[in-house]
Amino acid sequence: MPKIKQSAALGFIFVTIFIDVLGLGIIIPVLPKLLQVMGHLDVNQASKYIGWLTFVYALMQLLFASIMGNLSDRYGRRPVLLISLFGFGLDYAVIAFAPTIAWLFVGRIIAGICGASTSTATAYIADVSTGDKRAANFGLVGAASAIGLIFGIALGAYLYAINIRLPFMAAAGFAFANGLYGLFVLPESLAKENRRKFEWKRANPLLSLVRMFKQQPTLGVILIATGILYIAQKAVEYLLSTFIYEKFNWTPASVGTLGLFVGLVLFSIQAGLIRYTVPKFGQKKNIIAGLIFYAVGLLFIAFANKGWMLYLCMIPYCLGGLSGPAMQGFASEKVAKNEQGELQGAFAILQSISLIIGPLLFSYVFFFFTKKNSHVYFPGAPYLLGCALILVSTFISIRAFNRR
């Protein structure tokens, strides 16, 4: 692919993932209020629906990640990405004009299916990247996610003040606009000679992971380590604001400021620092170093006793972001060009599984250690558990690298 086209294509993928996470960010501050208004619910009742909406979204991603990845290996990355983008626009439009809560579930089902396009987007990156640049370009995924989450939360809070449904209308407009842009400028990255026949047995989400583990044990072990990492990350992604309100009694504005700080640090690491560390130290060292940083960050959060300490805790935690793109870069070198979609589908499957397990696991741990009759009051317990999981992931990764 010519250099100019490659640059434009990577920019489009960045925007695509940005819009994906932007929609998630918009939902975080707005959805509870929307549920309360639509269903005449209190906060406790609304929280149950939020859990089920998250579950439905994650389940659809789990079921369709491998299908979308395998379809992109057969028909190319471009059509799958474009269909997914227009599908995202439809999801946000459905939520924006939903007359009942049931329609919110319809929207989340559509979003989960289209959210599986992340596997295609990362396969596209693998197609147009080589060597050390591959892991660095995977860092674009993390950078786009960080910026998308920041702007999503900010946009949701700002537009909510105007109209409760306006954030979803804006997200729909962004998705449709990006789809139209890609329709005219996005080139195909997978040559016809590198495509393969679509096979349903390879599109089965769990069998896909099993097949990769059997064919390439080292790759399979890395996928297991990645799955454990993804689960541990959910302690921060879905529980941090609750933890802060409970332990430090911060205001929502203070939590938003911390979120902005985290997003900017993540962006600088995944869009900048990783482009220096991977070529200099290699993917394996970046993976191990990143996992250790994650563990240290989670440990510090667990025992932080002053609110301002969280800013310091987030620096090593964000440096853990070196591991994710390096893991994807390492794994992508283990498979052929016509299997990149399937591989990235496997990563998306792991994300979906972690989204089903992580928030539920850590919320129950948090509930147990903060309830009134608890023998041990320890709000940081979920983060201590997350640290333990990261150490397990580190041990597994080291063992994988030592395999012949």
Q: Kindly indicate the confidence band of residue 51, based on its pLDDT and cuts at 50, 70 and 90.
A: low
For residue 102, give the amino acid letter. A
Q: Is the pLDDT of residue 404 over 60?
A: no
Residue 252 lies in a domain: yes
Cβ 275 vs Cβ 139: under 8 Å:
yes
Residue 40 lies in a domain: yes
Residue 192 lies in a domain: no
For residue 270, give the amino acid letter. Q
Residue 282 lies in a domain: yes
Q: What is the CATH number of the domain that holds 173?
A: 1.20.1250.20
pLDDT at residue 257, as a whole number: 76
- Residue of 396, 390, 398 lying closest to 299 (CA atoms): 390
With 0-12 / 13-18 / 19 or more C-beta atoms within 10 angstroms meaning exposed / middle / buried, residue 47 is middle
Residue 136 lies in a domain: yes
Residues 6 or more apart in contact with residue 46 via CB below 8 angstroms: 32, 35, 36, 39
Residue 188 lies in a domain: no
For the full predicted model, state whether its pTM sits above 0.95.
no
More reliable by pLDDT, 340 or 56: 56
Residues 105-119 have pLDDT tens digits of 898 888 878 765 566
pLDDT at residue 313, as a whole number: 94
Residues 6 or more apart in contact with residue 20 via CB below 8 angstroms: 88, 115, 117, 118, 148
Residue 263 lies in a domain: yes
Residues 121-134 have pLDDT tens digits of 777 777 777 666 66
Q: What percent of the chain has pLDDT over 90?
A: 12
What is the average per-residue pLDDT within 392-404? Answer: 84
Residues 61-104 have pLDDT tens digits of 777 766 776 777 777 777 877 888 788 888 888 888 988 889 98
Residues 348-365 have pLDDT tens digits of 778 778 878 887 788 778
Expressed in percent and rounded to 5, the helix, strand and coil fractions of the chain are: 85, 0, 15
Residue 191 lies in a domain: no
Looking at the 3D structure of the chain, how many domains does it have? 1
Q: Which range of residues forms the domain containing residue 162? A: 3-183+200-401
Residues 260-314 have pLDDT tens digits of 788 788 878 877 787 788 788 888 888 999 999 999 999 999 999 999 999 999 9
Q: What is the DSSP string of 250-296?
A: --HHHHHHHHHHHHHHHHHIIIIIHHHHHHHH-HHHHHHHHHHHHHH
Q: Which two tokens stand for residue 42?
A: 């209190």
